[in-house]
């Protein structure tokens, strides 16, 4: 459904800049990206992480002007198509439409999960929750064995801006999790040292796990455009 043509993005470059016209919707083929906002004085809030096979820029729907910026976290590749075309396709083939609806619902759930995270949890819980969420989104399951690991190309600064903390505090808190043998984030890889305590601390809502699992079924059932 998406064209084969891909656009390469170096890590750290913006795919979309807030305020720009952005008529295209993208499929993320490779790499991670994040959606963010910058306040007038430079403070940054990261709103959403996207992993491969996810849709980018589904927002900006009404006016065609992007309301958030999207940046490549790692080197990445995307392929785009005009928004109208996606809408059309979705209307014509219920399968695609349903997939799209699921994706939007998933984004909404993630947003609410993050809001709850930032608003009502301690730094330890927030960090564990984010790392656990990303672990699950990559592996499509909970961590089970000690030393299960997963690629996680986040700097402490990025984690801080996603969770409403400072990078210094993220550093100390990560240090705590490491020293207590719960989890360790190093060189872009997350090592889950004690799955049980990690999952308990992260406290992912069951709906989120369900949605993640469902995404997995879908991908298994449907051949993907390559």
Partner DNA sequence: CGTACAATTGAAGGACATCAAAAGCGGTGG
Partner DNA sequence: CCACCGCTTTTGATGTCCTTCAATTGTACG
Residues near DNA (CB under 7 A) are 122-124, 155-157, 164-169, 171-175, 186-187
Q: How far is the CB of 45 from its own copies (least distance, A)?
A: 4
SS3 state at 156: helix
The item of its own copies, DNA, none sharing an interface with residue 172, based on CB under 5 to 8 Å by kind, is DNA
Residue ranges in 21-120 assigned as alpha helix (H): 83-92, 94-120
Q: 123-139 and 94-120 are packed helices; what angle lies between their axes, rounded to 10 degrees?
A: 160
154 DSSP 8-state letter: -
Half-sphere exposure of 125 (CA within 13 A, CB side): 12
Q: How far is the CB of 216 from its own copies (least distance, A)?
A: 14
* 150 Cβ neighbours under 8 A, 6+ residues apart: 134, 135, 138, 139, 143, 189, 190, 192
Is 107 a binding residue for its own copies by CB under 8 A? The answer is yes
Q: How far is the CB of 109 from its own copies (least distance, A)?
A: 6
Where does this chain bind its own copies (CB under 8 A)? 37, 39-40, 43-45, 47, 59, 61-63, 65, 67-68, 91, 101-102, 104-105, 107-109, 111-112, 114-116, 118-121, 161-164, 203, 205, 207, 210-211, 214
């Amino acid at each position: 459904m998406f064209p084969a043509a891909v656009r390469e993005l170096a890590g750290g470059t913006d795919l979309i800049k807030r305020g720009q016209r952005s008529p295209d919707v993208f499929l993320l083929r490779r790499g991670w990206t994040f959606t963010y906002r910058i306040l007038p004085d430079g403070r940054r809030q990261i709103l959403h992480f996207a992993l491969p096979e996810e849709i980018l820029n589904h927002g900006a729907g009404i006016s065609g002007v992007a309301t958030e910026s999207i940046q490549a976290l790692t080197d990445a590749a995307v392929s785009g198509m005009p928004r109208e075309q996606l809408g059309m396709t979705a209307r014509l083939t219920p399968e695609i439409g349903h997939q799209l609806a699921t994706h939007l619902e998933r984004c909404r759930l993630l947003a609410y999960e993050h809001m709850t995270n930032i608003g009502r949890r301690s730094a330890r819980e927030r960090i564990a929750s984010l790392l656990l969420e990303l672990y699950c989104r990559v592996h499509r399951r909970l961590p089970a064995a000690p030393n299960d690991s997963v690629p996680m190309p986040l700097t402490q600064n990025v984690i801080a801006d996603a969770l409403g903390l400072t990078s210094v505090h993220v550093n100390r808190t990560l240090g705590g999790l490491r020293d207590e043998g719960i989890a360790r984030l190093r060189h872009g890889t997350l090592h889950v040292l004690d799955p049980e305590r990690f999952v308990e601390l992260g406290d992912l809502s069951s709906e989120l796990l369900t949605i993640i699992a469902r995404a997995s079924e879908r991908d298994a059932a449907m051949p993907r455009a390559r």
